[in-house]
Structure 1
């Protein structure tokens, strides 16, 4: 399964890991994804989604 947030569309980011001698090596910064059961107002039932923790903090703003 892909590591993409269902609601926000966040995915991994490219970055550098910098050592003490300032040698840069490429790395991937993964999204912190969690499976979450969310109550859907439109469907009037529980749905299980893979969402990022950033979205979980602001779920009260999103109307699913």
Structure 2
């Protein structure tokens, strides 16, 4: 299962870990995915989706976003 948010479509970011001597090694900055159970008005049932914590804030503020799922 890919590590992608179902609502925001965010995925991992490539970056560098920089040491004290400025030696750069590649690393991946993974997103903060959480499993969440959300009520879907369209399907009239609870659905389980993987969301980023940022998307959880959006869903709490704008419940209409659950219609996407």
Deviating 4+ runs (over 6 angstroms):
none
Name the counterpart of 1:16. Answer: 16
Q: Note the C-alpha offset of 1:58.
A: 1.5
1: distance between equivalents of 2:7 and 2:41?
15
1: distance between equivalents of 2:16 and 2:40?
39
Q: TM-score, normalised by structure 2?
A: 0.85
Q: How many residues align?
A: 64
Structure 2 unaligned residues grouped into runs of 5+ = none
Structure 1 unaligned residues grouped into runs of 5+ = none
1:31 aligns with 2:35: no
The structure where helix makes up a greater share of residues is 2
